[in-house]
Structure 1
Amino acid sequence: MSHQTPNVTEEYYEYYQQYIDLAIHRPLDRALIEGMEETAALFKSIPEEKQEYSYAPNKWTPKDILLHIIDCERVFAHRALWFARTENAVIQGFEQDEFANNSKANSRTMDSLLEEFKSVRKASITLFESIAEEDRLRKGEASGHILSVRAAGYIIAGHEVHHINVIKDRYL
């Protein structure tokens, strides 16, 4: 994959800049592959007694965060696929807190969450590798805002880094 930077005014809503900034220093394929390895190693290193710890009321646990990363990756990969294959696509948003509240992440083992994370990430890597460079510039509307296929990939990678930083800062 070549390394081209998504354009905020043409490819994504400015809110996502915070995530893209965390991933744009690497080509997308490297960001996804290296992110998978780094994230899996970090979550595997969290002691069992901290896996369901929340640093404040109504804050997520590390297990909640990992499943949130997985869910968001699925959502953004779906958007990327949809926009790569469809003209003028419009996709509704999703409510991340509703997803988290219904996820039952803390009833699962960290190993099962990590297995799911790696499976989803490998599927995302394959998806983005399969999309031609010119098709990565295709766009649609998600949550009421423009989004390109390429930007969706970088949002996946940067969103992951954002939450890894939260884990390191608040949980370890």
Structure 2
Amino acid sequence: MQSLLSKEEYNPYYGIFIDKALKEDIVEGLKEGITQFVEFVENIPDEKLTYAYADGKWSIAEVLQHIIDTERIFSYRALRFARKDNSPLIGFDQDDYVPNSNANAIKKESFVEDFKAVRGSSISLYKGFTSDMLMWVGEASGSPMSARAAGYILSGHQTHHLEVIKERYL
């Protein structure tokens, strides 16, 4: 998907996520991501939710919460960019969010419910964007980002982390 974007629309760090976006059409990719997430989470054994594959690594529950938290943050960024808000947005430290998330006390069903709600909001947001709004570039974490790049990042970020869980945790 990086070929769809100009280099001025995102920091190269996000290329790994953009390339894993599920569809060229952002809304369709976000919709497909709901099915992907729900089916994946429902197949995780309950006893594995709090499992981490090494000391200092996040548990599966913490990774799931990270996906949801990141969805909220990047949707907010997309909204700001699409509305031509020129205020630079500071970054967030994911490693500070995780210990404060209480993720290991959350049940699978709650992750699914929360993700569906957040993703539904993202889909609604992106449905309302015009092609011009998608192209507007703002600044986040000291780098440029367009609203459409944020949408591809949302889709691919989820895919990336579900792949990591599958490879390293299950």
Task: Tell me the TM-score range normalised by the shorter chain.
Answer: over 0.9
Q: Is the contact made by 1:6 and 1:150 (CA closer than 8 Å) also made in structure 2?
A: no
Q: What corresponds to 1:45 in structure 2?
A: 43
- Using the TM superposition, give the Cα deviation of residue 6 of structure 1 relative to its aligned residue in structure 2, in angstroms: 4.2
Q: Is the contact made by 2:2 and 2:18 (CA closer than 8 Å) also made in structure 1?
A: no
TM-score, normalization by structure 1:
0.94
Range that drifts further, 45-54 or 87-96: 87-96
Q: What corresponds to 2:33 in structure 1?
A: 35
Range that drifts further, 96-105 or 84-93: 84-93
Residue identity opposite 1:105 in structure 2? A
CA distance in 1, matches of 2:24, 2:84: 28
CA distance in 1, matches of 2:112, 2:55: 25
Label 1:5 to 1:124 Cα distance change in 2 as closer, same or farther (>3 A): farther
Q: What corresponds to 1:89 in structure 2?
A: 87
Q: Is the contact made by 1:36 and 1:118 (CA closer than 8 Å) also made in structure 2?
A: yes
- Using the TM superposition, give the Cα deviation of residue 7 of structure 1 relative to its aligned residue in structure 2, in angstroms: 2.2
CA distance in 2, matches of 1:114, 1:60: 19
Q: What SS does the corresponding residue of 2:51 show, helix, strand or coil?
A: coil
Please state if 1:144 is matched with 2:142: yes
Q: Is the contact made by 2:136 and 2:147 (CA closer than 8 Å) also made in structure 1?
A: yes
Residue identity opposite 1:77 in structure 2? S
TM-score, normalization by structure 2:
0.95
Label 1:24 to 1:109 Cα distance change in 2 as closer, same or farther (>3 A): closer
Segments of 4+ moved more than 3 angstroms: 3-6
Q: Which runs of 5+ in 2 are unaligned?
A: none
Please state if 1:61 is matched with 2:59: yes
Q: Which runs of 5+ in 1 are unaligned?
A: none
CA distance in 1, matches of 2:142, 2:160: 23
> Percent same amino acid at aligned positions?
44
- Using the TM superposition, give the Cα deviation of residue 44 of structure 1 relative to its aligned residue in structure 2, in angstroms: 1.1
Q: 1:153 aligns with which of 147, 151, 154?
A: 151
Q: Deviations over 1:71-104 (max 9, x none)?
A: 0010000000011113423111000010111101
- Using the TM superposition, give the Cα deviation of residue 67 of structure 1 relative to its aligned residue in structure 2, in angstroms: 0.5
Q: 1:76 aligns with which of 74, 77, 90?
A: 74
Q: Is the contact made by 2:90 and 2:140 (CA closer than 8 Å) also made in structure 1?
A: yes
Q: What SS does the corresponding residue of 2:19 show, helix, strand or coil?
A: helix
Q: Is the contact made by 1:4 and 1:27 (CA closer than 8 Å) also made in structure 2?
A: no
CA distance in 2, matches of 1:152, 1:4: 12
Q: Is the contact made by 1:70 and 1:120 (CA closer than 8 Å) also made in structure 2?
A: yes
How many correspondences in the alignment?
Answer: 170
CA distance in 2, matches of 1:38, 1:25: 13
